[in-house]
Amino acid sequence: MTYAQKRALTELWGRFGIESGNMRLSIVELFGRRAPLVVEIGFGDGESLANMANADPEMNYLGIEVYCPGIGHLLLRANELGLTHLRVMRADAVEVLERRLPDESIDRIQIFFPDPWHKTRHHKRRLIQGGFVALLARKLKSAGRLHIATDCEDYARSILDLLNTTPGWVNMDPNHGFTSRPTYRPLTKFEQRGRRLGHPVWDILFILA
């Protein structure tokens, strides 16, 4: 972690951070306004999340991450951009969803490049599985969106099959396949480098019926 990131965690957390705990959050009190809520799970270095929030001031953004350097970087970017509609949690996403966020409170959940756990014996550690998808469905509003992107084809097809066969989810692709990258999702540096090397990325976009 850089010195700047460490300093951001100390000096900027009070402005953007949400302390850990078990109490349900009031989204209106948290942001000081009523607006659609986007939750990003595992935002990495936070660059794309900061850019999305900066481009869309009419939405509230909540990022959940456990990686301290990434949190520090996001705090720095949020401060540089003067974002007032972004909040950050350092916590396990499942615990946040189960304990902190009210049911039917989220308009869009986005999970970009989750750990694919490539080895077959580790697939059980993958985040996006049946029980987790059921939890997401509880937290999304009716007609809320779930957007997932991954560069692991095996994982992408597993997620697509899971959502296509789970009642209550509607694929935004009319052919029940992958979607094109929505314009609101920025290309990360990692993704741009992968594209130059010919590595595709699969976007999966579903609506909760």
Q: Using DSSP, state whether 200 is helix, strand or coil.
A: coil
> Any bridge partners for residue 89, and if so which?
18, 64
Q: Mind telling me the catalytic residues?
A: 115
CA proximity to 149, closest of 179, 112, 182? 112
First-to-last alpha carbon distance for the chain, in angstroms, is 42
Cβ–Cβ under 8 Å, residues 45 and 8: no
Indicate if the alpha-carbon torsion angle 75, 149, 66, 131 is positive or negative.
positive
Cβ–Cβ under 8 Å, residues 72 and 6: yes
152-156 contacts: CB < 8 A, separation 24 or more? Answer: 152/116, 152/118, 153/200, 153/202, 154/116, 154/118, 155/114, 155/116, 155/126, 155/128, 156/202, 156/204
Calculated CA dihedral for residues 127, 133, 139, 143, nearest 10 degrees: 130
